Amino acid sequence: MSQPYKSGRQKNLNLGITSVTENDTILQVTGKVGIGTTFADGRSLYVIGDTQITGVTTLASNGGITTTGGDLYVGADLYIKDDLVVDEINSRNLNITGVSTLGIASATTLYVTGISTFRNGPVIVGSATSSGTTDQKLQITGGAHVSGSVGVGTTNPRETLDVIGTVGVQASGSANRFEIQHNAALNSLDFIFV
């Protein structure tokens, strides 16, 4: 094997064994390695400059912590096998599928600005158990407070509660039910027991 040379005296340094039955290139270094620097700063590998890696890269497969002091950009899908703990998320397009629990701690708040679309639902608030009604896109357990107007059947409520359509009222556990309908001919309300 040729002796290693200092930078500038030899363009390529090839280490390892190449034969018909074995094709391995192994570089074993005892100590610290600095690339782009002569000072490894106590790290096993210290790189100053851009790094490009192709193929599968495994970070801390046997435990440990991988940190970055700046931004982390992933140009394709990011798969996380275990928990993901994030102090802050700024997302332009966040797509969550499956069972997702947000706000475990009492001091945790989900703050959403802009338009948020829940495509399939149901969206369950206050309970992790679905009612099982597939056409019920929003389920709230434990009560809800709305500070503005609510429109049912309308996107432009003119009153605190504005309903376009028939209103049905039935006591819990009772078979008796009545409906409130608008009589357009008489411009009045009809109470119909059904």
pLDDT tens-digit series, residues 45-96: 888 888 888 888 777 667 677 777 888 888 888 888 777 777 777 777 777 7
Query: Residue 31's pLDDT is what?
Result: 80
User: At CA 78, angle to CA 76 and CA 83, rounded to 5?
Assistant: 170
Indicate if the pLDDT at residue 5 is higher than 50. no
Residue that is written with structure tokens 């107007």 in the block: 149
Does residue 108 contact residue 122 with C-beta atoms inside 8 Å? no
Average pLDDT, the chain: 76
How far is 159 from 122, CA to CA, in rounded Å?
A: 27
Specify the pTM: 0.43
Residue that is written with structure tokens 């040729």 in the block: 2
Contacting residues for 161 by C-beta, under 8 A, at least 6 apart: 149, 150, 152
Band (pLDDT 50/70/90 cuts) for residue 1 is: very low
Closest to 192 in 3D by CA, of 174, 176, 175: 176
Does residue 43 contact residue 32 with C-beta atoms inside 8 Å? yes
- Condensed to tens digits (0 to 9), the pLDDT of residues 151-172 reads 999 999 999 999 999 999 998 8
Given CA atoms 87, 93, 96, 102 in this order, what sign does their dihedral have? Answer: positive
Query: Residue 137's pLDDT is what?
Result: 77
Closest to 165 in 3D by CA, of 184, 178, 152: 152
DSSP string, 132-153: --TT--EEESS----SS-EEES
Instruction: Please list, residue by residue across 2-22, b when 16 or more beta carbons sit within 10 angstroms of its beta carbon and e when fewer do.
Output: eeeeeeeeeeeeeeeeeeeee
